[in-house]
Structure 1
Amino acid sequence: MTARILCVEDEDLLRSDIAEELNDEGFETLTASNGKEAIEVLKHEHVDLILCDIMMPLVDGMTTLKLVRERLPQHNEVPFIFLTAKSTREDILSGKKLGVDDYLTKPIDYDLLLATIKARLSQVDRIRETNEERLKRIYNALKDEHHKGQPLSISLIANMEKYILPIEHALKDLGCLVEFVHEAHLAQRKDIAEHNDLCFLVYSKQVHFYLSGLIKAKTTHGRGKIVLLCNDHVDANLKEALIEQGIGYTIDYPYPPVEIFKIILKAAQQQ
C-alpha cells in the first residue's frame, strides 16, 4: 500500500519541491501551506506521516502538533516530523514535550529526508504488526472461552450504527449476541444494561443523561457491565467521575479493538 504523507510548508517553492521528491519515491503526497489548512486536511484524510514546518503564518508548527495530538486522536500513531531552520535546544525540548518524533533542518537534505521518512514508517509497521499479533492472541482466547460457556449478550448504543459497525462485526464474528440500539430509544430501554452482559455506549449528551439516571438510581455499582466509548469531547475528569460513580470501563477514540476484546474476555471468564 502506498504511504500518504502530508507536507505542511508555507514556502510555495519548497513545498512543491518536497512533494515532487516524495512523489518520485512512490509516496502519495498531500500539501498544506499552514497549520490551519493542515488541521482541515487531517479532519477528513488518513495519512501515514506528517512533515511540518515550524515557522508559519496563522497556525505555526508547534500549535499544529499540539492540536493534532490533543484533538485528532485518529492520528495519534502518525509520525510527526518538524522541518525547521532553527533547532535550538529549547525548540527541540518544546517539540519533544508535545510529542514530535523527529527534526530535520533546512536547507533540506533530501537523502536524509527520505531515509528518515522510511525509518519512521518502518517503525510504525513493526508496532502495528506487534499489535495485530497481540490482537490475534486475545481473539483466539475469546473464541476458546465461548466454547466453554454461553454466548455473551451485548448491546451497542450510538446515534448512528455506522460509527460502531466494525465493533459490531467483530463481536458477531466471536459468536456474541449483538444488538444495536439507537440512543434515542434509551428512554424506553432503561433496563438495557440489566438484560445484557455488556453495554457499549458512544458518549453523547443523551447518553450522559441516561448514565446520570443510572447513577442517581444507584443501579450501576458492582456491575462492570457498562463500557463508555469516549470521543475527544470527554475529558479526563468526567471519565474519572463516571468510573467512581459505577460506570465499568471507558475506552478512548478510535476505540482500539484490543481494549474492547480485553473487556469481552474478562466478561466471558466471569460467566
Structure 2
Amino acid sequence: MTVVLCIEDEDLLRRDILLELREAGYETLEAPDGDRGLRLIFDSRPDVVLCDIQMPVMDGWEVLRQVRSTPDQTQDMTFIFMTAFADRSDIIAGKGNGADDYITKPIDFDLMLSTIQAQLDKTRRIINGRDAKLQKLETLLSSEQSQLMATREQIQVNLMKLVSALSRAIEIRDPYTAGHQRGVADIAVAIGQDLGLSDMDLCGIEMGALIHDCGKLGIPAEILTFPGRLSEQQFSLVKQHPEIGGSIVADIQFPWPIEKIIVQHHERFDGQGYPYGLAGDDICLEARIVAIADNYEAMSSHRPYRSALKKWRTLEIMREMRGTYFDPQILDPALKVLERL
C-alpha cells in the first residue's frame, strides 16, 4: 500500500487531509512540524510527502533540503509542498531544490489526490525506465562476460597446445625420457585432485608438469642421450636445467606458478635439493606435488643405465624419502593415489 506522510502544523487541516487520503486508499503518517516529519521520513520511508512550508521548529524548505541531500535513501520519494503563499518564484525555487509539485491552500482535495496520483505515476515510469535500462545493461554485461569466458577458454586451450608442443620438443631433444612429462602431468593431476585442488589449480599443475624439464633444451644433446650413468661433471650440467627452464618461461605471464614449478621441482623438503636449497613451505605446493610425480614416473620407467623398478619397490623407496625429499602431508595421500594407478 502507498504510504503518504502529511507534515502540517494546523491540526484541523492535517486531520482533514489524512481523512481524505485514507478514504482514497492510502496508508497515512502524520507530523505537526518539520523536525518530527523529517524523523518519520528517514524512519518510515513514505512514498509521498505532503509538506507545509511555514512551520515551527523546522520549516518545509529545510525538510526538503535534508531529504534531497540523501538521494540514495529518498530518490524515489515524491515531495509535494502545501502552501498558501505559492508565488511563481517560490514554485521555481522549490522545484529547483527537488520539490515535485505544489498544492495551494485552501486545499482542493480532488486536486490533491489527482496530483498525488500523477506524481506516483511519474515515479513509476521513472523506476520502470531505470529498471529497463538496468536489465538492458545486465543483459549486455552477461553477453560480454560470456564472450570473455569463451575468449579465456580459447586462450587456455591455445596455451595448453603451446605447452604440449614445447613438451614434445623436449622429448625430441631427450628421447630417453619420451612420454615422461605427460606421465608426470597425469600423476600430478591425480594427486592434486585427491588433495581437493580446484580445476584452475589442476590446470596449472598439468601445464607446469608438461614442461617441467624444458630447461633440458639448454643441455648438450650428448649428455641427455649419454647411454649410461653420468659423471659428476656431466650431472652438474644437467642440474642447471631447472634454472634454464625458469628463464625460458620467465617473461610469460601465466595465471599459475609455472616458473616456480619448473625451477623448484628438484628442491627437497629438507632443503638439500637444487638449485636453491629451498625447504618446506618455501617450495610452492605445485612443485612439491610435481616432484613426487616426477620421481615416481622416473623410477617406474626404463633408463639406459637401469631397468624400471617394480611398483612395490618404487613405493617403498618413496616412503623412505618421506620428510627428506618429500612433504609428508602431500606424500601420504599421494602414495594412496599411486597405489591405485
TM-score (norm 2): 0.42
* Structure 2 match to 1:101: 100
Query: In structure 2, do the counterparts of structure 1 residues 71 and 133 end up closer, same or farther at CA, with 3 Å as the change threshold?
Result: closer
What aligned pairs does 1:1-271 form with structure 2 within 5 A after superposition? 2-71=1-70, 73-150=72-149
CA distance in 1 between counterparts of 2:126 and 2:87 reads 30
CA distance in 2 between counterparts of 1:90 and 1:139 reads 42
Aligned AA (2:51) = C
CA distance in 1 between counterparts of 2:141 and 2:70 reads 33
CA distance in 1 between counterparts of 2:116 and 2:96 reads 21
Secondary structure of 2:5's aligned partner: strand
Query: In structure 2, do the counterparts of structure 1 residues 4 and 31 end up closer, same or farther at CA, with 3 Å as the change threshold?
Result: same
Listed one character per residue, the Cα deviations across residues 205-227 of structure 1 (whole Å, up to 9, x for unaligned) are xxxxxxxxxxxxxxxxxxxxxxx
Listed one character per residue, the Cα deviations across residues 236-263 of structure 1 (whole Å, up to 9, x for unaligned) are xxxxxxxxxxxxxxxxxxxxxxxxxxxx
Aligned AA (1:70) = S
Aligned AA (1:99) = G
CA distance in 1 between counterparts of 2:141 and 2:109 reads 48
Runs of 5+ unmatched residues, structure 2: 151-254, 256-341
CA distance in 1 between counterparts of 2:133 and 2:92 reads 33
CA apart distance, 1:144 = 1.5
Query: In structure 2, do the counterparts of structure 1 residues 133 and 20 end up closer, same or farther at CA, with 3 Å as the change threshold?
Result: same
Query: In structure 2, do the counterparts of structure 1 residues 71 and 127 end up closer, same or farther at CA, with 3 Å as the change threshold?
Result: closer
- Between Structure 1 and Structure 2, the one with more strand by share is 1
Identity %: 42
CA apart distance, 1:141 = 1.4
CA distance in 2 between counterparts of 1:129 and 1:92 reads 27
Secondary structure of 1:149's aligned partner: helix
CA apart distance, 1:73 = 3.6
Secondary structure of 2:89's aligned partner: helix
Listed one character per residue, the Cα deviations across residues 67-101 of structure 1 (whole Å, up to 9, x for unaligned) are 11114641123221110011123322321221211
**With CA pairs under 8 Å and 6+ residues apart, which has the higher RCO, 1 or 2?**
1
Listed one character per residue, the Cα deviations across residues 139-176 of structure 1 (whole Å, up to 9, x for unaligned) are 1112212222249xxxxxxxxxxxxxxxxxxxxxxxxx
CA distance in 2 between counterparts of 1:38 and 1:17 reads 18
Size of the alignment, in residue pairs? 151
CA distance in 2 between counterparts of 1:19 and 1:145 reads 51
TM-score (norm 1): 0.53
The structure number with the bigger radius of gyration is 2
Report which stretch shifted further, 103-112 or 73-82.
73-82
CA distance in 2 between counterparts of 1:91 and 1:44 reads 28
CA contact (8 A) 1:9 1:33 kept: yes
Aligned AA (1:146) = Q
CA distance in 2 between counterparts of 1:73 and 1:134 reads 18
Query: In structure 2, do the counterparts of structure 1 residues 79 and 121 end up closer, same or farther at CA, with 3 Å as the change threshold?
Result: same
CA distance in 1 between counterparts of 2:3 and 2:55 reads 22
* Structure 2 match to 1:215: none
Aligned AA (1:87) = A
CA contact (8 A) 1:52 1:82 kept: yes
CA distance in 2 between counterparts of 1:89 and 1:141 reads 45
Secondary structure of 2:99's aligned partner: coil
Listed one character per residue, the Cα deviations across residues 83-120 of structure 1 (whole Å, up to 9, x for unaligned) are 00111233223212212111111111001000100000
Secondary structure of 2:37's aligned partner: helix
Query: In structure 2, do the counterparts of structure 1 residues 129 and 72 end up closer, same or farther at CA, with 3 Å as the change threshold?
Result: closer
Task: Provide runs of 4+ in structure 1 moved above 3 Å.
Answer: none
CA distance in 2 between counterparts of 1:14 and 1:73 reads 32
Aligned AA (2:28) = T
CA distance in 2 between counterparts of 1:44 and 1:128 reads 22
CA contact (8 A) 1:43 1:72 kept: no
CA distance in 1 between counterparts of 2:72 and 2:135 reads 24
Aligned AA (1:121) = L
CA distance in 2 between counterparts of 1:120 and 1:15 reads 20
CA contact (8 A) 1:86 1:105 kept: yes
Runs of 5+ unmatched residues, structure 1: 152-194, 196-271
